[in-house]
A and B are shown apart, each in its own frame.
Chain A
Amino acid sequence: MRLKEFLKDEEITLLNSTIKSIEKRTKSKIRIYITEKIGRYELKKAREIFVSLNLRNELKNNVIFIISLKDKKIGILGDDGIAEKVNEGFWLNTVNAVAEKFKSHEFAIGLIGGINLVAEKVIEFFPDEKEENSLEQIIFYEK
């Protein structure tokens, strides 16, 4: 499967609008990154991706979802600011919930479920109120 074929256009639109509406209520950013293969050292690679997308900020409150198509892996990485606010099991519980939907090929639904779990936390710990939608890119593909 090609990277850009993983999500249908309408699913991309749905994910974009979901995340943008969440980001109106929080100082955090949530991003999705789709890659061919993440390899053995997933978290190290995830950190590299996180940095390459300029997601590190002063509040350290951003979160990324990473989907690796060849190894069929779904991952999540939250920066230190949010990581210290949630319990240890939060990250694994979130990806497990997403993976359950992925197993039945409900990729967009799985992602929206995971994004909403994250949204609850970032809105609680890093609240904000913005009127306008962010124009930033939400979904990234490996080049």
Chain B
Amino acid sequence: MKKIKVILFFIVFVKVLLYAQIFNIDDNYIYDFAKILKETDRKSLNELLIKYNKITGIKFKIIIINSLKDYTDEDIVFENFIRNIFNSIKTDRQNTILFAITIKDRKLYYESGTQINESLTSLLSSIIDNKIIPYFKNEEYARGIYDGVRVFIRKTEKRQENNIKIPAEIFYLLMSFLIVFAGLFLIAKRKKRKVKIIEEFGKGAFTEWK
């Protein structure tokens, strides 16, 4: 009975932990504080990035702000500011590409997690130079971001398909089911054993000969 209680506690505890992870799923990939993207474009791009994450396991997060001065009077380094925002986003940083823009300050920043292949970072750099910046120079920010990200996704999706990683939430869900089934199996086995032990027949006696 004590063992069953321990098993049940373990199952409940792990389930709670895993669900806690699952409920932390962040489906928001675009933080457009400058409001330069049309809502329909933002949603469509976000959908693309969700799909991209499901296929490749990579999270492509975009932060767009107008100007650092909207947030702080201090002479803060742009990279540090973006990193602070990045730190406040719940995400698996190792699999994340962060792309940040300040419109008025005309600054761009990108950072790749440790598990992101270097070739992807180079590709992103080339897309920024050749696709995004020319649009930005014409002050077509929304189009630059929209087209740039779509090109990046298109060019890398197939490359990453061969290297599919199970998304964390699916992994946790599968693990959760596995643990529950293992727990139920153990309990069922225990019950079966118990029935065998409980089955009483015959009479007898034991004594010691010490």
Contact = CB atoms under 8 A, between A and B. Distances in A.
A111 to B, nearest CB: 12
Interface in A15-72: 38, 41-44, 46-48, 50-51, 56, 60, 66, 71-72
Interface stretch (B17-25, B134-142, B182-190, B197-205): B197-205
Q: How large is the interface on B (under 10, 10 to 19, 20 to 34, 35 or more residues)?
A: 10 to 19
A44 B200 CA distance: 8
A116 B65 CA distance: 98
A88 B209 CA distance: 21
Given A60-B202, A79-B202, A91-B203, A48 B196 contact: yes
A99 interface: yes
A103 B208 CA distance: 9
A44 B197 contact: yes
The bracket for how many chain A residues form the interface is 35 or more
B202 A77 contact: yes
Contacts of A46: 204, 206
Contacts of B206: 38, 42-43, 46, 66, 73-76, 95
A82 B197 CA distance: 21
B197 A48 contact: yes
B38 interface: no
Nearest to A50: B202
Contacts of A78: 202-204
Contacts of B210: 72, 103
B88 interface: no
A3 interface: no
A60 B201 CA distance: 9
B207 interface: yes
A78 B202 CA distance: 5
B197 A72 contact: no
A56 B205 contact: no
Contacts of A91: 203-205
A5 to B, nearest CB: 17
Contacts of A103: 209-210
Given A80-B202, A95-B207, 14 more contacts: A42-B206, A46-B206, A47-B197, A47-B201, A48-B197, A50-B202, A56-B201, A74-B207, A78-B204, A88-B203, A91-B205, A92-B207, A94-B205, A99-B208
Interface of B: 196-197, 199-210
What 9 A-B pairs have minimum CB-CB distances, sorted nearest first? A77-B204, A75-B206, A102-B209, A83-B203, A91-B205, A92-B205, A42-B206, A99-B209, A79-B202
